[in-house]
Amino acid sequence: MQNWLEAQGVRLVTNCKVTDLDLKTEDGKHIVTGIHCLRGDKSEVIAVNDDDFVFIQNGSMTDASSLGSMTSAPGKLTKADSGGWTLWEKLAQGRPQFGKPKVFNSCIAQSCWESFTVTLKKPAFFDKMIQFSGNQPGTGGLVTFKDSNWLMSIVLAHQPHFLNQPVDVQVFWGYALFPDRVGNFVPKPMDECNGAEILRELCGHLRFDPETVESANCIPCRMPYITSMFMPRVRGDRPLPVPRGSKNLAFISQFVEIPDDVVFTVEYSVRAAQMVVYALLDIDRKIPAVTPHAESHQAQFKALIKSFK
């Protein structure tokens, strides 16, 4: 993707944080005239010309995420450590049409969960999981330990999962929705556990011997805003992708208002980007429709059956 974009003349700049925008108002229209950013620790301002457009990421589910290791729990970061939400907060100050970021980022206790990735150099864990679940990796769904205090799940994808993954290495992913609760086999909340302790909790639920994950490397990842887009909201808390009265500024993210679409998906961000590009550049193309799965009789029937299980 990166190679393809660069071949089209796109200049990608990394290690650069956008911290603010210069905005002016003309005939009731908001116009961005400059982009403030930090490159390393150097601040700079990028001038925005009359025919330029500015597409801004307002909020991110992975903001302030932190990694642990086999011997350390991830640090407990907040938006104050990462600064990712600050830009949207600054832009929305005094401009109600730019949404209300605080609705989404003010309660880490409700928006946090933790994931972990495990790298194995011995096949014992995968072999035992195949035996236990009856599924080859990549063919079953998630395995959820529904009675676990942390509400933990794991996913064994088809192997190799990564390009150039060595044949004798296997990887899997897992997560837990209640990392602030004490475990069933480890007497600690997950968000205070290192990778070794998470593996101990996992093996406890599976009734697997600890040797099954011998030499495994488990990296925990705490994500304080991972479900922030599901926080209770009302219309107007999320801006329109192209906010009312904006001449050259648009928002692209999981925190824009798109009727009927479902957040926590790549599709949502892609649709937002299509909408703003077509609108601001006046491109006459249709946005792919959202399929109303929730209204299908089959889905509703399945939901009814499930609700009685």
Ligand X SMILES: Cc1cc2nc3c(=O)[nH]c(=O)nc-3n(C[C@H](O)[C@H](O)[C@H](O)COP(=O)(O)OP(=O)(O)OC[C@H]3O[C@@H](n4cnc5c(N)ncnc54)[C@H](O)[C@@H]3O)c2cc1C
Residues within the interface to ligand X (CB under 6 A)? 17-18, 57, 60-62, 84, 87, 115, 226, 253-254, 264-267, 269
Q: Which is nearer to ligand X, 125 or 255 (CB)?
A: 255
Q: Which is nearer to ligand X, 13 or 304 (CB)?
A: 13
Residue 221 sits at the vertex; the CA angle it makes with 19 and 74, to the nearest 5 degrees, is 85
Q: Compute the Cα dihedral for 73, 75, 76, 82 and give only its sign.
A: negative
Q: Which is nearer to ligand X, 223 or 280 (CB)?
A: 223
Burial class for 96, CB neighbours closer than 10 Å (0-12, 13-18, 19+): exposed
Orientation angle between helical segments 195-206 and 124-133, nearest 10 degrees? 30
Q: Give least dist CB 62 to ligand X, A.
A: 5
And the tokens for 170? 């296997």
Closest of 72, 116, 90 to residue 221, by C-alpha = 116
Q: Which is nearer to ligand X, 266 or 283 (CB)?
A: 266
| Nearest-CB residue for ligand X | 269
Q: Give least dist CB 210 to ligand X, A.
A: 26
Q: Which is nearer to ligand X, 148 or 253 (CB)?
A: 253
Q: Give least dist CB 56 to ligand X, A.
A: 8
Q: Around Cβ 63, how many Cβ atoms within 10 Å?
A: 22
Q: Around Cβ 216, how many Cβ atoms within 10 Å?
A: 21
What DSSP assignment string belongs to 80-104? HHH-TTHHHHHHHTT-GGG--THHH
Q: Give least dist CB 214 to ligand X, A.
A: 26
Q: Give least dist CB 41 to ligand X, A.
A: 15
What DSSP assignment string belongs to 272-283? HHHHHHHHHTT-
Sheet holding 66-67, edge to edge: 66-67, 217-223, 113-120, 170-176, 152-155, 143-145
Q: Give least dist CB 228 to ligand X, A.
A: 11
Q: Give least dist CB 283 to ligand X, A.
A: 20
Q: Which is nearer to ligand X, 77 or 124 (CB)?
A: 77
Q: Which is nearer to ligand X, 95 or 122 (CB)?
A: 95
CB-based contact 229:104 (threshold 8 Å): yes
